[in-house]
Each structure stands twice: as C-alpha cells, then as structure tokens.
Structure 1
Amino acid sequence: MNRHVSVLVPFTPSRAEQVVPFAAFVQWRGAAVLWQGQGLLTEQHQVFAQLCGLGVCPPLGLGVSLMPLRHPVHAALEARTLAAASGHPVTAAFGPGSSAFQKAVLGAAYPSPLTAAREYLGVIRALLTSGEADLHGTYFSYRGVLPRLPAPPVFLGLGVLRPGMARLAGEVADVAVTWLTPPDYLRDILLPAVREGAEEAGRPMPRIVSIVPTALDRPGRDTAALLARGSEPHLEAPHYQDMLARAGVPVRPGRPQDTVRGALDAGALVNGDPERIAGRVAAYHDAGVDEVVLNCTGVAMRWGPRAVLQDLEELSDGKVW
C-alpha cells in the first residue's frame, strides 16, 4: 500500500493562472497529485488543459466528474487529451451524482446507478485499451472507434460512498475515490466490498483515494465552522447523509454545523495543529487508503487561496508528508 498525500484545488477557478500556485506546490513540495472536483463555474478538464499550456503541470486527478454531463466517449477523449498534454498519467474518476442532479440533467434519475456506472466505465475502458467499442447498454452505448494516440495511461475511477458502488469499483475500476468517508467505515465496510468485487472479477485491488476536508487551526479561526461551510453541499446531500449514518455519524438534516461535530469525531473531517492532522491522515493510511487528498475548501472560502497555500506549506514542513 502506498501512503501518498495529494492536494485538491480548493475553489473553482475562473482561469488556469489561479491554479498555478497549487500546481507548483505539488511539483516542488512532494505532494503526489493535483486534483479538481466537478464544477459548474468552469469546466475542470479545460482548466487543467490550460494549466498544461502554461507549462506547470503535475500529475492530475479528476474526481468525481458527474456522468450525466458527458457521454463516455467524450469522457475518454477528455481524459486522454489531458494525459497527452501533461505527459503524466491521469486519474479520471466518475460518479452518477445525486438523484436530484440526474433528474435535473436527464429528466429522470437512473433506475440503476450501478448499471449506469458499469456501462459508463465499460465504454471508456474499451476505447482507451483497444481503441474501439461495440457496447449496447441500458444507459450508455457506443459502436465505433477512438483513434490511437501515444499518451501516458488514464486510470479509471469510481466515486464510492456505499458498499454497492464499492463492489462495482473492485470489478471495473482502477481507483476507488471516496469523499467525507470516516477511516473506520472505509476499513470495515468499503474496503472489504472493493476487495470482494476485485476478487470476484479476478482483478487487482483498485487503488483507494480519499478526499478529506481539512482545516489547520490558527488564532481567530473556527475550524469546525470552516469545515461546515466548505462541506455543506455534501453534508446536505441525501446520499452523503446516508453514508454518514451508516458510519455511525449523527446526521442533522438542515443543520450541517451539527453534523460536523460527529463527522469530526469520526475523522471524516480533519482539523487541528499539524501533528493532529498528521495523525488523522495516518489513520486513513492505516485503514488501507493509498492516497489522501487534502481538501481545504472551507479555508479558501473564508480566508482565500493564499491562506490555503500557507497552511499546506506548514503541513508539508511538518509530519503530514
């Protein structure tokens, strides 16, 4: 098992220049990967492609891109383009999103999100491995080719919150990406399900990546409030609330500041001084996570990107990595 630490761009950039300091930090301070989540202000693949054009391009991760927004052929083309432009392998993780988001984009939710995710990754993998696909699914189909292009590999991921998607990740993905998942829940529930899926499919165990909301204590900061603010969309989403409840976290719909207390106790959110944060990151690694992605969105929302970079500098000088 690897013990990597990576960094999430803690805001949705309006132009690639805003991401350069974080890309440079990853390159020079020993972080593993620069990640972006799904945004609706700007398109994450285009921002990363612009970043590559600026000549500051570390290994890149996309997680979790929402399946309803793009056909899998387009997803394969975008991910491979980034690998070619950056010169590094790219981790591209996908997920169906909430049922409300599926309805908003498609007019109706997927009756079976697991089937949709299986078909989605099936089309992408066929195109990126053999260059052609002849797949006819309930939700996604493609009969055609993707012309070959010399490029570093694309590692396909699935966003994982609950055991069903975890087993599917074991069957079909290279990477399982979790968000807001406590270490004990990962160790006891999700990782056994991923392993079960991989063993049934006769595949290697996927790499496990956990995106962890993080806030460094400083004078004048209420880090619990920062974490609540930065994670509010997830804390209020029904599928995240269901996952947290399965993990034993008391969930208070409509009161994310209350849910945060239990999530902090469970380690799903991380705050404290560098030594405490290092211990929390180590708990994820000890649970079986290969790569922990520090998500400092709450700090960025209140104090700005410069404050996040200062925090990351302090964490990288300490015991976190």
Structure 2
Amino acid sequence: MTAYSVLMPFLPRRPEQLLPYAALVEWTGADRLWQGQAMLVEPFQGFAAAAGAGFRVPTGTGVTLMPLRHPYEAAHQVRSLAMTTGESVVAGFGPGGREFQRSLLGAPYASPLTAAREYLTIVRGLLSGKTVELDGEYFSCHAGMVPAVAPRIDLGLGVLRPGMARLAGEVADAAVTWLTPPAYLRDTVRPAMAEGAERAGRATPRLSAVVPVALERPDRDPTELVVASNSRHMRAPHYIDMLRKAGIDIAGEELPAAAKRMLEGDAFVHGTIDAIVEKLTAYREAGADEIVLNLTGAYNVHGPKAAMDDLKQILAAVTA
C-alpha cells in the first residue's frame, strides 16, 4: 500500500515552524515528515526540536548533501535523530549539483556514482555496528561507532537518472526522487533500480517520490505555482537532463513556458481534488511506495494558510 507523507514547504527559520507539520503527521493519515537540505535550521536539529516539543514523528531527509559532512558525521546525526525522536528515519543523501560540489570541495566529483557508493557504504557499515575499513577515492573511514539501540534507520539515495537508480538498487533502502513524472518512474527509474538490485542479489528498494502539487483555485496561476516551487531546479543541468529523458524538454525555455511543459507532463500535479487523486494514483501505479506531498508552490505564492489548507484536503482525499 502506498504511503502518503508531507514535505516541509519552506526553509524554517525557527524550529517551532515545523510543529504544525509535525502535528499534521501525528494526527492524520500522513506517514512521515520530510525536509530537504536546509541552509537555515538544519533538518536533523529541527526534527529533534519538534520531538522535544512533543511531536515525535517518523522523519525523512530528502536529501541532505554529501559535501556538507563526512559519512561518519552523517551516521552520527542520523542515529542521534532516531534516538531523540524514538521513531524511524529515512536518511536520504545525494551529491548535489556540480557547482555546489565545486564551491565546497574545490572541484566536483569526477564520478558522483563512486562518491555516493562510498558514502552509503560507510554510513551503512557504521550504523550496522561494524568497524569500517575503507580507503575510497572520495571518502575514507577506519572507525566504528559506540554501540547503541535505535529505531529503524533506512538509507536513501537521491535519484534522478538511470545510473543513480541502479546504484540505489545496489546499496540503498530507498530511492528518493524529485520532479520525476510517473511515466518516467515506471519506464526508467523502477527498471534501473531492479537491475541494480538483481546485480547485488537483493530485493529492490522502496521508491519515495517527492511530488510538487497544488489545488486548482480561481485566484491561482498554475505556471506561477510551478516556478515558485521549482525555479532553481528548472535551471539546474541535471534536472533539465532528467526532464528531457522524461519527455519534457525545457532547455532554453523561459520559466513560464517551461512551467507549462512541466504541467502538461505531470512533473507538477495540479487540478481539482478529483484530478489530483487520479494523478497521484498514476504515481502509485508507476511503482511509488511513498508519495511525499510538496506544497512549496502554494506556500511561496499564497502563504502558509493556503498551503496547509491544500495539504489537509489532499491528505484527507488520498488517505481516506
């Protein structure tokens, strides 16, 4: 059965801003509270603060960026969060864009796949209680962690294209996708994950799809919602390439025209509540085990109340 979860639709400046969304997860049929990489309140600290305020809910990071921390520190943060909340964590990691890598590391990863493989291998080994002995091209570790009992931790890998999907099949517990239309999940991502899993002799990981969505309302321009939600992604080369592979060519387009193409290709889900339920069903049928509802567009254009109203109405319809 497909789970439905909630993404924080903005970057919190104070941890108490997470509380309404943590409460939504606790009091509705939503499965988990997710947050992407945040450069204001760090996701691990924000989730821990929400737990301290009384909202101990399952959490997910989709995704934290590898250049920011060594995999030992990542394993430590993830286990600390699970122990603090008392709930399961899906710890999603990704290499980030090439310019981000260059700005922090001096040069981008020559092979993001190799870097991601080394990173997850170290994190998994540490979380499983092993002493890791790995000299990698990008990451090395010769250490173990102090033993501790913690709730379940699943390792996620940010996936856009087939190579990373195959790697997720080999080394991750979940593939975490962003802006990926359902047909692309069905025809490209899922088969590549299965191929990687077969190569490694393991079961195919779960697929958690972060889906930008907004309800149709009289005062709303859907193209404005798309741009407000995804303008940075729509300019990033790796997203442009993924969307092209998915049949949505936005290269060289002005943002409003690109947004229209994304709406037509269901990279952004918009419509009446019945239409949204139908479009989200397409994600489930494409193999998404978890659909993470992303209301960033509505939040950025129409404010927090509009985003929360949309979120409540969509959750009520899909989890009934």
TM-score interval w.r.t. the shorter chain? over 0.9
Q: Partner amino acid for 1:227?
A: V
Match runs of 1:1-321 below 5 Å: 2-253=1-252, 255-319=254-318, 321=320
The alpha-carbon deviation at position 293 of structure 1 amounts to: 0.6
Check whether the contact 1:126–1:133 (CA below 8 A) recurs between aligned residues. yes
- CA-based RMSD of the aligned residues comes to 1.1
1:116-159 Cα offsets, whole Å, 9 max, x none, are: 00000000000001242111100001101111111102100100
Check whether the contact 2:37–2:64 (CA below 8 A) recurs between aligned residues. yes
The alpha-carbon deviation at position 233 of structure 1 amounts to: 0.8
Partners of 2:58 and 2:113 in 1: CA distance:
28
Partners of 2:117 and 2:191 in 1: CA distance:
19
Percent same amino acid among aligned pairs? 50
Check whether the contact 1:224–1:271 (CA below 8 A) recurs between aligned residues. no
Partners of 2:166 and 2:316 in 1: CA distance:
37
The alignment's TM-score, normalised by the length of structure 2, stands at: 0.97
Q: Partner amino acid for 2:201?
A: G
Q: Extract structure 1 runs of 4+ deviating beyond 2 A.
A: 316-321
Partners of 2:319 and 2:280 in 1: CA distance:
7
Structure 2 SS opposite 1:119? helix
Structure 1 SS opposite 2:75? helix
1:45-64 Cα offsets, whole Å, 9 max, x none, are: 11111111111121100011
Partners of 1:145 and 1:198 in 2: CA distance:
27
Check whether the contact 2:66–2:95 (CA below 8 A) recurs between aligned residues. yes
Structure 2 SS opposite 1:292? strand
1:223-273 Cα offsets, whole Å, 9 max, x none, are: 221121111111111000000001110214362221122211221101111
Check whether the contact 2:184–2:246 (CA below 8 A) recurs between aligned residues. yes
Partners of 2:28 and 2:307 in 1: CA distance:
14
Structure 1 SS opposite 2:108? coil
Check whether the contact 1:8–1:35 (CA below 8 A) recurs between aligned residues. yes
The alpha-carbon deviation at position 42 of structure 1 amounts to: 2.2
Partners of 1:129 and 1:255 in 2: CA distance:
48
Q: Partner amino acid for 1:273?
A: T
Check whether the contact 1:156–1:175 (CA below 8 A) recurs between aligned residues. yes
Check whether the contact 1:275–1:320 (CA below 8 A) recurs between aligned residues. no
Check whether the contact 2:4–2:315 (CA below 8 A) recurs between aligned residues. no
The total of aligned residue pairs comes to 320
Q: Partner amino acid for 1:232?
A: S
Gaps of 5+ in 2: none
Check whether the contact 1:275–1:319 (CA below 8 A) recurs between aligned residues. no
The alignment's TM-score, normalised by the length of structure 1, stands at: 0.97
Structure 2 SS opposite 1:318? helix
1:11-33 Cα offsets, whole Å, 9 max, x none, are: 00011111111111111111011
Structure 2 SS opposite 1:85? helix
Partners of 1:300 and 1:153 in 2: CA distance:
31
Check whether the contact 2:240–2:249 (CA below 8 A) recurs between aligned residues. no
The alpha-carbon deviation at position 319 of structure 1 amounts to: 4.1
